[in-house]
Amino acid sequence: MNPSVQVLSIDAVAAGAVLAEALRDFGGAVLLPAGAVLTDASLKALRRRGVTTLGVLGVLGVLASDPADSAAASLAERERQCARLARLFRNSDTSGASGASGASGASGASGILLARLLHYRRQA
Amino acid sequence: MPIATVTPITPITIDDVVRHIRDLPSLPAAVIELLSVMDRDDVDTHALGARIALDQSLTAKTLRLANSSFYGVQSKVTSIAQAVSVLGFRSIRTLVTACAVTNSFPASACASLNFQAFWRHSVATGVCAQLLARRLKVNPDVAFTAGLLHDIGALVLATRFPSQYGQMLAYRAEHDCSIIDAEQAVFGLDHALVGSTLSAWWKFPQPMHSAVASHHLDCGAATPALDLVVHAANTLAHALDLSEVEDDLVPVLSDGVWQTLALSEADCMILFKDAETTFHEMCQVLIT
């Protein structure tokens, strides 16, 4: 979830987005409190009142809330971490890491360490 | 190390190093005293507290450490005396030493060294060494301090020979080799040797001196336990990517060290997690 505030055109905001700060009319009266979850109905009402932009929280998180998308995102993150480990260990003979146990290979210690770290990153 | 046999590009002799080390400020007497009694517990805590209170930045760091969520104290710690009771004498002693050494090397002295990354790696190695220490019956505070200071020779090279240091970093980037190989190729000596020279000059206790000197060497059966701990901690700190340097390189882990540590898969999972958590805590206190 991206915690930063994003100011977006009301047309770019989808139902499910969270208001970052209270939305007030010109008189200062609160239309919607901070933290309110926007719905299709409330967005329509806000448009009718002439609201054109909204400060919302965690837009990226909301848009990615589809379970298939977040699974893809975490898979991509794990792949990134595995690629990062391979880069960090590029100087070591880590032939031991490719086996399931990670216990074989000429230069065993670095290979086993890499295998354990891969396991650690995958389960995190 | 085949590169080392080639004539160095801009050689630095150990005599040059010694001359520059003599120009470094000497460590405060209190710190040398603390280092020498690191593995003893019968030291006057009131005297230590009084010394800390005289130093503003040290006082601030001590209070920040005591108030960090790591120690989970509910009420706010506002005095050194309170901090000593929360942290214990040993943690404070470690902190005092760390701060004194850090303050000897101003970041402004070498533009090419990434000081932030350097200290992140140093703290990471200290944390890993502390976590590994008990397995080899090493005092955890001694291990933390030795880990924190293991690359101290790099600071001498970076701050006393700044232009050559820049050349060495360029060589390293071009060849994508280890720092040790690049130092050998450019200077004809490496930061482990320089660090051991400095630690002798600063009268570090012998085990710490040995750990600084040998952290890149392959370890055998006769290697002292603290050397094994610092070697493994250095590798682990790189492997956990704690210094966040894009072209970082994990040094080869000695098979002998790995066998001596005898870490099971489950041990490793706990170790990795603890290292990451403790590291982030310590960074907030030591690096700001």
The tens digit of pLDDT for each residue in A71-106 reads 777 888 888 888 899 999 987 765 544 443 333 333
Taking a C-beta distance cutoff of 8 angstroms, is the pair B218, B256 a contact? yes
Q: Give the model confidence (pLDDT) of B183-241 as tens digits.
A: 999 999 999 999 999 988 888 888 888 999 988 887 776 789 999 999 999 999 999 99
Structural fold of domain B11-23+108-288: Hypothetical protein af1432 (1.10.3210)
Name B52's Cβ contacts closer than 8 Å, sequence gap at least 6.
Answer: B58, B59, B62, B80, B92, B96
Please state the pTM of the whole predicted model.
Answer: 0.73
Measured distance CA(B235)–CA(B244) in Å, rounded: 14
The most confident of A35-44, A58-67, B199-208, B228-237, by mean pLDDT: B228-237
Among the four given CATH numbers 3.30.930.10, 2.170.190.11, 3.40.1260.10, 3.90.105.10, the one describing domain A5-63: 3.90.105.10
* The predicted structure's pLDDT at residue A1: 41
Domain ranges of chain A: 5-63, 67-123
- Measured CA distances, B198 to A41, A59, B108, B213 (Å): 71, 53, 20, 10
Interchain CB contact of A113 with B (< 8 Å): yes
- Contact residues on chain A for B258, CB-CB shorter than 8 A: 108-109, 112-113
* The predicted structure's pLDDT at residue B71: 63
- Judged by CB atoms closer than 8 Å, whether chains meet at A91 and B272 is answered as no
Interchain CB contact of A44 with B (< 8 Å): no
- Judged by CB atoms closer than 8 Å, whether chains meet at A116 and B265 is answered as yes
Residue of A nearest to B235 (CA): A110
CA atoms within 13 A on the CB side of B76: 1
Domain ranges of chain B: 11-23+108-288, 28-103
- Judged by CB atoms closer than 8 Å, whether chains meet at A84 and B241 is answered as yes
ipTM of the complex: 0.82
Q: Give the model confidence (pLDDT) of B125-165 as tens digits.
A: 999 999 999 899 998 888 988 998 899 999 889 988 989 99
- Residue B28 predicted with pLDDT over 70: no
Measured distance CA(B45)–CA(B61) in Å, rounded: 17
